[in-house]
Structure 1
Amino acid sequence: MKKLARDPVLLLCIALVTIFLVLFVVYPMLQILKASFLNREAQFSIEAYIRILSGQQLFTPLKNSLLLAFIVSSLSTVIAYVFAYTFAYVNVPLKKLFNSIAILPIISPPFVIALSAILLFGKQGFVSKHLLGMTNANIYGLNGLVLVQTLTFFPIAFLVLAGLLRSISPALEEASLNMGAGKLKTFLNVTLPLTVPGIANAFLLVFVQSLADFGNPMTIGGNYTTVAREVYMQAVGSYDMQAGSALAMLLLSITFIVYALQKFWVGKKSYVTVTGKPVNGRRMIDSGWFKYATFAVCFILSIVVIAFYILVPIGSFIKLWGINNSFTLDHYIYVFSLGQKPLKDTTELALIATPLAGLLGMIIAFLIVRKQFFGKKALEAISMISIAIPGTVLGIAYVLSFNTAPLALTGTAIIILAAFIIRAIPVGIRSGIASLQQIDPSIEEAATNLGASQTKTFFSVVLPLIKPAFFSGLVYSFVKSMTAMSAVIFLISAKHNLLTASILAQVEIGKIGAASAYCTILIVIMSVALLLLNFLVKIFGGSKEYTSLS
């Protein structure tokens, strides 16, 4: 405390970060917990939990969500493993294309694949009606959700598994082959066991994403209710805040348990294969049926993903899909005449939230890695906890917390910005921590010894050294803000509307063409912004001197 007292700027920084996290993370979670035990007369009651756990109507969304998450996680992990193994072990053409296709769903709006599924397999779908001649095709429900969520979330599993498979030392596999084991036996006894933590990690991450998904169940779920969707329906549709809060708390509990398993169970297992000893490069699979089989699987899946993404821009120029397929610009005229406000609001709020989230993430990372103060562990835990909070839970918590004086922020831009920032900072914090741990503290000590204050040291020495992590945090923050849906659906108002909410509204009233136009515009905005951010990263974030210092 004496050290902090000597540096009032650092003390003020810690105080402001703590207040922000308590106000926008801790307080809302306590409010939603409190609301789950209060009935309409504001009396203590556990009726909502009884209705959920006793197998009544509210139990169905929980059962449906768990079943859907299990199926999607299993399929996504298998597909991602094939993709990742091909990328790391098989010498096939178009690897860069496969890698780009695998990460494409991560940076896309949450409805693109669901909209494409309707255009392909709906009642007027190109495949269902025009190719197969089906008149009663039904893409809505469990089957449609499994298809859409698998294509949406398998890239998350791929990113986890690809890095793990590439990092496995070839020496162990070569030793197995040299001792007479065949390639299949080597894979089953050496490679596969070494990737167990990655498989479990990928499965659990997709499981949480599927549980927390809101946009796809709202778009294509039909009568198949899920917890995230039911939270919204109970809170907004029936205005039963106790039932909505109880479901939200149950969803939050499940996601916390899964993240705990992922962090403490999988994370603590040791599967070290990189020992520092020099080894030869991996011998890639260059021929044989296995090469062609894996290439065929990756190629077909890539074509499917490309088809899903191409259909949305095409659908935005069709008068009435499946009925009147003539070319039209009516949907864009409608969007730019009546729907300019969501475009303007989304872009402005995302541009404001992006630098704030990026800078806040780096400041918190700096405090965690470089400073010692009372409550540091608590600050780290609170700042990272939002990664496990589903968007619908955060949204309903903000409504409960900021709907009355003195914190009446509902309907303002501040509450939407807070939701954007809270959802985005965990990734920035983790990348900032990883970068700071690679930098020798003596560099900062030298600046301090030369008379620089903590603030000057941070902005003149630390931040330039961690620019790559800072810019990656900016990219992630912008992507999350532009495509945010589940949290902000509770927070939008006539004064501040967002693109994702407008897309959902168009889907709900059956205007698929207008929804496709909104999605296409959002994809264009995202692509241009990401190109600009990547250009800035190359100019400011990747110079050789900073890389060598880190």
Structure 2
Amino acid sequence: MRPKAFNGWNWITLSIVLFFALFILFPVVLVLNKSIYNGEAGRFTLEHFSLFFERKFYWVTLWNSIKVTVVATVLAVLIGLPLAYMLRRVKIFGSGIVQILIIVSYISPPFIGAYAWIQLLGRSGVITKWINDTFQLQFDGIYGFAGIVLVLTLQSFPLIFIYISGALKNLDNSLIEAAESLGYSGVQRVIKIVVPLIAPTILASSLLVFMRVIADFGTPMLIGEGYRTIPVLIYTQFMSEVGGDAGFAAALASIFIIVTIALFLVQRVIARQYSYSMSALRPMETKKSTGLKNLLSHVAVYGVTLLAILPQLVVVYTSFLETIGGQVYTGKFSLQNYENILFNRDLSMILNTYQLGLIAIVVIVILGILIAYLTVRKRNKVTSLLDTVSMLPFVIPGSVLAMALIFAFGEAPLYLTGTSLIMVLAFVIRRMPYTVRSSTAIVSQISPSMEEAAISLGASERRTFFRVVVPMMMPGVLAGAIMSWMTILGELSASIILYSTNTQTLAVSIYTEVIRGNFGNASAYSAILTVTSILSLFLFFKLTGKKEMNV
């Protein structure tokens, strides 16, 4: 007879634990093992790690990654925080449209921003040519450290903006008024009152930016040139047909995992020091400003928004320009690029993007709902561990995860390399944390008394879950799911390693077209991806009735 305690939720917990063990923990352990075990010699060794620290090129590459990430994160905060504060304090004309444009700029993949800035500030870019012709200079473009930081900062500050905008809603305006009555200037009020109160939000959003930037592959690959970062180095070491070393790539991945997990834990410790809640008895109100302050506020908001949305405008605009050989724009408007990708080529990469993405998002939503409910309502040691493991993919770069999946499923009995299934697995694992976090937050806000009332009226626990809890979870689930979906559309760092001819996606197609110099086709693919992301965002607004996005 089965023990009564081992009910349906126990079976679900066990199934999810096995899923995580097989598709997350097992591949990661194999990467760690590969980094210290020499299969040919049949012995454990630290030679790969020794090679990393002995050669300046390798550890300088790690330092490059950290330097780019720190600078981009700091700049993102310095842009996102004042922008959010201005839009909450000063009445800006068209503020609703501004906020939507900022969100749109965030949902586009970073490497599209890199490609767009190549069109503007590359060696043959429009702005580069104008600068050189006008001022008789030899400006060589934005390649290298400065270009990477520019692209990733403009791509990342919207996330800071979104988080801080939400936090400022809970800020009591009486505190700011009290500081003003004591003679504090506007800047002093922000630094001494606002920043300390929203410090937990700043830290949380900064961590998300930090992890996203440090794991980015496409941007440094496209415009880094001689400025290498760890994701690019891992890719070249693992994929290179000449001189590639899977063991050394595994060692690089292991070092990267240790660094990112350490940074994640440090942030968690620091965040606990600032853990408190706010209740806005008198929420902040926007006030109409006049004179120079009003002018500067509008110029700052519109200027930053234009810079943020510029890559999307560039790729859409250039997608309608005629090209010669795919590289030289004639300046004439044409549908040539769309004819090339829609009628003269196989449409499989477009269909793959939507098909694989939809399958992945269904799995993510199911897992997100179940994990959130288990970790909040059925909390024990196992579900607490489940909660922790579900966040592990958040700190593992996509290139590392892809390499881990190949190590785990590159041979019998579970040979998945090159299949659609391994692509779906990568999407699910990489983007699941968004939905899990938002679903967990919404479950925590649902009173258990709602379930107790349904059960007292004769509903079974299962019926209560599906008819009461799940519908109430939907706003939070949808918020996380739309973020997961839009990041799946632009997933490149894992896809570029895992894809095959039959599983190529839009993100991979854009990257390969840029590398080959087919800029017209790359623009058309990018425009399709951008429009899809925008439509997905507006669908989210329609389904939830919201006019803004909280993540």
- Pair 1:331 & 2:337 matched: yes
The whole-number CA distance in structure 2 between the counterparts of 1:506 and 1:93 is 39
Normalising by structure 2, report the TM-score. Answer: 0.91
Where does residue 174 of structure 2 map in the other structure?
A: 171
Alignment of 1:170-319 (within 5 A): 170-237=173-240, 238-270=243-275, 272-274=277-279, 278-279=281-282, 282=285, 284=287, 286-318=289-321, 319=323
The whole-number CA distance in structure 2 between the counterparts of 1:267 and 1:442 is 29
Give how far 1:3 is off. 4.4
Contact 1:10–1:454 (CA under 8 A) maintained in structure 2 = no
- Pair 1:376 & 2:402 matched: no
* Match among 126, 138, 143 for residue 140 of structure 1: 143
The whole-number CA distance in structure 2 between the counterparts of 1:254 and 1:486 is 18
Give how far 1:236 is off. 0.5
Q: Which stretch of the first structure deviates more once superposed, 462-471 or 527-536?
A: 527-536
- Pair 1:397 & 2:404 matched: yes
Q: Which stretch of the first structure deviates more once superposed, 446-455 or 413-422?
A: 446-455
Where does residue 467 of structure 2 map in the other structure?
A: 460
Where does residue 504 of structure 1 map in the other structure?
A: 511
Where does residue 549 of structure 2 map in the other structure?
A: none
How many residues align? The count is: 535
Alignment of 1:434-453 (within 5 A): 434-453=441-460
Taking a change above 3 Å as real, the CA distance of residues 285 and 36 of structure 1, as seen in their structure-2 partners, is farther
Give how far 1:250 is off. 1.6
Match for 2:251: what amino acid? A
Contact 2:312–2:530 (CA under 8 A) maintained in structure 1 = no
Taking a change above 3 Å as real, the CA distance of residues 339 and 457 of structure 1, as seen in their structure-2 partners, is same
Contact 1:64–1:226 (CA under 8 A) maintained in structure 2 = yes
Tell me the SS of whatever aligns to 2:332. Answer: strand
Taking a change above 3 Å as real, the CA distance of residues 401 and 33 of structure 1, as seen in their structure-2 partners, is same
Give how far 1:501 is off. 0.9
Alignment of 1:145-164 (within 5 A): 145-164=148-167
- Pair 1:4 & 2:5 matched: yes
- Pair 1:119 & 2:119 matched: yes
The whole-number CA distance in structure 1 between the counterparts of 2:485 and 2:101 is 20
Uncovered stretches (5+) of structure 2, i.e. residues with no partner: 547-551
Match for 1:417: what amino acid? V
Tell me the SS of whatever aligns to 1:338. Answer: coil
Give how far 1:461 is off. 1.8
Where does residue 34 of structure 1 map in the other structure?
A: 33
The whole-number CA distance in structure 2 between the counterparts of 1:280 and 1:107 is 28
Q: Which stretch of the first structure deviates more once superposed, 380-389 or 318-327?
A: 318-327
The whole-number CA distance in structure 1 between the counterparts of 2:404 and 2:57 is 23
The whole-number CA distance in structure 2 between the counterparts of 1:270 and 1:527 is 34
Taking a change above 3 Å as real, the CA distance of residues 185 and 450 of structure 1, as seen in their structure-2 partners, is closer
Give how far 1:281 is off. 5.1
Taking a change above 3 Å as real, the CA distance of residues 504 and 40 of structure 1, as seen in their structure-2 partners, is farther
Match for 1:31: what amino acid? L
Task: Give deviations 1:4-36, integer Å, cap 9, x for gaps.
Answer: 32x2x3232112111111111111110111111
Contact 2:110–2:151 (CA under 8 A) maintained in structure 1 = no
Tell me the SS of whatever aligns to 1:93. Answer: coil
Match for 1:440: what amino acid? S
Task: Give deviations 1:62-100, integer Å, cap 9, x for gaps.
Answer: 121111112211211111112111122222222223212
Tell me the SS of whatever aligns to 2:391. Answer: helix
Task: Give deviations 1:378-430, integer Å, cap 9, x for gaps.
Answer: 11111122212111111111111110111211111111111111122212122
Give how far 1:271 is off. 5.4
- Pair 1:486 & 2:487 matched: no
Give how far 1:53 is off. 2.3
Q: Which stretch of the first structure deviates more once superposed, 329-338 or 70-79?
A: 329-338
Taking a change above 3 Å as real, the CA distance of residues 356 and 138 of structure 1, as seen in their structure-2 partners, is same
Taking a change above 3 Å as real, the CA distance of residues 370 and 377 of structure 1, as seen in their structure-2 partners, is same
Task: Give deviations 1:455-508, integer Å, cap 9, x for gaps.
Answer: 322212211121112222331232122111112222111221111111111111
Taking a change above 3 Å as real, the CA distance of residues 295 and 528 of structure 1, as seen in their structure-2 partners, is closer
Contact 1:90–1:286 (CA under 8 A) maintained in structure 2 = yes
The whole-number CA distance in structure 2 between the counterparts of 1:15 and 1:77 is 41
Q: Which stretch of the first structure deviates more once superposed, 23-32 or 422-431?
A: 422-431
Where does residue 427 of structure 2 map in the other structure?
A: 420
Give how far 1:55 is off. 4.2
Q: Which stretch of the first structure deviates more once superposed, 396-405 or 204-213?
A: 204-213
Contact 2:154–2:307 (CA under 8 A) maintained in structure 1 = no
Where does residue 476 of structure 1 map in the other structure?
A: 483
Tell me the SS of whatever aligns to 1:406. Answer: coil
Match for 2:266: what amino acid? L
Normalising by structure 1, report the TM-score. Answer: 0.91
Where does residue 95 of structure 1 map in the other structure?
A: 95
Match for 2:216: what amino acid? D
Match for 1:34: what amino acid? N
Uncovered stretches (5+) of structure 1, i.e. residues with no partner: 540-550
The whole-number CA distance in structure 1 between the counterparts of 2:165 and 2:320 is 37
Tell me the SS of whatever aligns to 1:31. Answer: helix
What is the identity percentage for the equivalent residue pairs of Structure 1 and Structure 2? 31
Tell me the SS of whatever aligns to 2:110. Answer: coil
The whole-number CA distance in structure 2 between the counterparts of 1:480 and 1:455 is 32
The whole-number CA distance in structure 1 between the counterparts of 2:388 and 2:440 is 14
Task: Give deviations 1:139-172, integer Å, cap 9, x for gaps.
Answer: 2211211111111111122122222333221222
Q: Which stretch of the first structure deviates more once superposed, 311-320 or 113-122?
A: 311-320
Where does residue 526 of structure 1 map in the other structure?
A: 533
The whole-number CA distance in structure 2 between the counterparts of 1:283 and 1:519 is 36
Taking a change above 3 Å as real, the CA distance of residues 377 and 479 of structure 1, as seen in their structure-2 partners, is same
Contact 1:332–1:514 (CA under 8 A) maintained in structure 2 = yes
Contact 1:208–1:258 (CA under 8 A) maintained in structure 2 = no
Task: Give deviations 1:242-291, integer Å, cap 9, x for gaps.
Answer: 121111122222221222122221243145553x7x44754746235334
Give how far 1:2 is off. 4.3
The whole-number CA distance in structure 1 between the counterparts of 2:187 and 2:427 is 47
Where does residue 545 of structure 1 map in the other structure?
A: none
Task: Give deviations 1:190-219, integer Å, cap 9, x for gaps.
Answer: 233334444444433322221111111122
Q: Which stretch of the first structure deviates more once superposed, 529-538 or 136-145?
A: 529-538
The whole-number CA distance in structure 1 between the counterparts of 2:543 and 2:346 is 31
Match for 1:83: what amino acid? L
The whole-number CA distance in structure 2 between the counterparts of 1:271 and 1:374 is 25
Q: Which stretch of the first structure deviates more once superposed, 219-228 or 329-338?
A: 329-338
Match for 2:75: what amino acid? L
Tell me the SS of whatever aligns to 1:4. Answer: coil
Taking a change above 3 Å as real, the CA distance of residues 531 and 415 of structure 1, as seen in their structure-2 partners, is same
Task: Give deviations 1:220-248, integer Å, cap 9, x for gaps.
Answer: 21111100111111100143111211111
Contact 2:80–2:157 (CA under 8 A) maintained in structure 1 = yes
